[in-house]
Structure 1
Amino acid sequence: MRITRLLTAVVSAAVLLPASATAASAAAIGGYVALGDSYTSGPYIPVQRLDPLGCGRSTANYPSVVAAALHPGRFTDVSCAGANTTNLTRPQNVPAGGTNGPQLDALRFDTDLVTLGMGGNDYGVFGTLTSACPGLRASDPTGNPCEDRFTGSISAAIDNIGPRVEAALAAIHERSPRARVLVIGYPRIVPEQGYCPDVLPFADGDYAWLNSIEEKLNLTLSDAADADGKAEFVDTFGPSRGHDACARGGSAWINGQHENVLEAAAYHPLKAGMAGVAAVVLKALR
């Protein structure tokens, strides 16, 4: 999911808030810190922040919508496109010559709420699938060439993500011991049934496999939260049913293969997707 081109679109857009977003516990949130990758930062979704520009951090991403609803005393969003769990403790170089500092540096002892949306970039899981799988469709349009090539390596990679997330959660608790910590899962990208190769150019037989890979990744994140014992997993895969990239009539939460610098990066959340995820997070907080 690494964004490799300079983000050039900086346009104005209003952040839409869920009408029922106000929670009774909102007044107790003195500080909220958002950690994550591009599914948290929101590349190309207007308005893009410039701190740094290469992180693709939108003022309409789900942390911003959650913060606008809860009105924490402090809100710090250090999510960044291309980030993996190593960037929690190490700086990340981003396009246009910028640097995003170690994300855990944003945590304070008195931080009350932390959201962590990360894992898909570790070991190149999402990057491999979105860069390699579309090119395999032509070789077997109705088959499952991507599954045949990558099933073993991708499955093994996801197995190795769990311990990294557990270590990340331990580090979060150490720095912010009284914070409520939410691990945010990834929303659905491909539909449960049917195909839309003009939007998602994967071989027909690979759709079901890609769904299973995303389910496995989310289960790994959920298991890491359970093993931690103090963090909570927020499922966005189930609530995003019917909002995959193939959804019609403006229902999609995820953009397809066509990158739009005024709307969303390819294979990434749209503004509607960020609002949808924010609603799920706010429900979990209530």
Structure 2
Amino acid sequence: MERNIGGFVELTNVSCGAAPVEDVTFRAQQPIGRHLPPFSEDPDYPFHPVPAQSEAVKPGTDVITVGVGGNTLGFADILLKCEALGAGSGGVGTPCRDALAADIPGKLTKVRSAYDQMLAKLHEKAPHAKILTVGYPTVIPKDTSKCRYNDLQQFGSITRGDLDWLRKDVLEPLNNTIEKSAGTHDAASFVNLYYSTQNHSVCDADKWVEGLLDHDHKPTPRTPQRRGPPQRRRPHRNGDPERHRPGLTRIGTPPSIPQRAASAPPARRQLRSLVTRTHRSPRLAEMR
């Protein structure tokens, strides 16, 4: 984004992997960079706490993009539990749904409450800003026969029945929750990535989302591992041009579920069209 439109807008990026909604609204974050022992060691670890992402929003900010909610729902933890529950099942049945379905409505209610508070906070800090709430892409395909059981580059030992449940009763309701929250705030609009990313799920050949392991068979960044905390991006240094040059404010977190493998062209085109319709050099803030 900085390469494509950085000359026209002020870009500020404070997004951070594995951030729940609270890290946007009020809570200082504890980055760990790439310090994920035993998988990797970060020579600069430990890092100092960084402020809540909303602190980057100023009264003159024009546009805020925020993609967050999956970590508040606990989707990465749900995935890992589903994988453990599906081990030894031979890919048959719905052991994860049977064990966890009763908890999902309460988790979605928590997301909605936190999201409403976050949008109110962002509007308070930048009363004239347009807030773009970005939903989650298609992670699980509608046709789960594409997904290979026990393939860690996809969903490991999660059964197809549980993948169907995760798509219909967890991920799609999460997007609906975000959209409904945005619909109650005049300053907010929902950016739907779900339909434009179909046929690019974890189980598709042309995937834009990584599975539990990436193509190098390494744990996917920003997915909580079995050992150690979830990865967070390295905090910005004083010389980081993305933080200190004039630009867009980006808040929130990339999906804590398997990460987006490649940027989705439709989403980029949509954001570019929104920016180029402004009549002055906008101040944009991106949060994830």
TM-score by length of 1: 0.70
Correspondence for 1:211 among 148, 167, 181: 167
Answering whether residue 34 of structure 2 is matched by residue 94 of structure 1, we say no
Q: Which residue of 2 aligns with 1:279?
A: 269
Q: Which letter does structure 1 place at the counterpart of 2:76?
A: G
Q: Which residue of 2 aligns with 1:126?
A: 75
How far residue 138 of structure 1 moved from its aligned partner, in angstroms, is 2.2
Point out which structure has higher relative CO (alpha carbons under 8 A, 6+ apart): 2
How far residue 115 of structure 1 moved from its aligned partner, in angstroms, is 0.3
Q: What is the percentage of aligned positions where both structures have the same residue? A: 25
Q: 1:209 to 1:281 in 2, by over 3 A?
A: farther
Give the secondary structure class of the aligned counterpart of 1:174.
helix
Whole-Å Cα distance in 2 between the matches of residues 74 and 283 of structure 1?
A: 16
Higher Rg of the two aligned structures: 2
Q: 1:262 to 1:151 in 2, by over 3 A?
A: closer
The CA deviation string for residues 25-76 of structure 1, in whole angstroms up to 9 with x for no partner, is xxxxxxxxxxxxxxxxxxxxxxxxxxxxxxxxxxxxxxxx2x4333343211
CA RMSD of aligned residues (A): 2.2
Q: Which residue of 1 aligns with 2:61?
A: 111
Give the secondary structure class of the aligned counterpart of 2:263.
helix
1:262-273 equivalence runs, <5 A = 265=221, 267-270=258-261, 272-273=262-263
Q: Which residue of 1 aligns with 2:18?
A: 82
Q: Which letter does structure 2 place at the counterpart of 1:172?
A: L
Give the secondary structure class of the aligned counterpart of 2:204.
coil
Q: Which residue of 2 aligns with 1:167?
A: 117
Whole-Å Cα distance in 2 between the matches of residues 122 and 263 of structure 1?
A: 21
Q: Which residue of 2 aligns with 1:258?
A: 213
Q: Which runs of 5 or more structure 1 residues have no equivalent in the other structure?
A: 1-64
Q: 1:147 to 1:135 in 2, by over 3 A?
A: same
Q: Which letter does structure 1 place at the counterpart of 2:84?
A: G
Q: 1:80 to 1:189 in 2, by over 3 A?
A: same
Answering whether residue 201 of structure 2 is matched by residue 224 of structure 1, we say no
TM-score by length of 2: 0.70
Whole-Å Cα distance in 1 between the matches of residues 274 and 88 of structure 2?
A: 43
Conserved in 1, the CA contact under 8 Å of 2:212 and 2:220? no
Q: Which residue of 1 aligns with 2:239?
A: none
Number of residue pairs matched by the alignment = 217
The CA deviation string for residues 220-253 of structure 1, in whole angstroms up to 9 with x for no partner, is 00000001122000000111110001111xx101
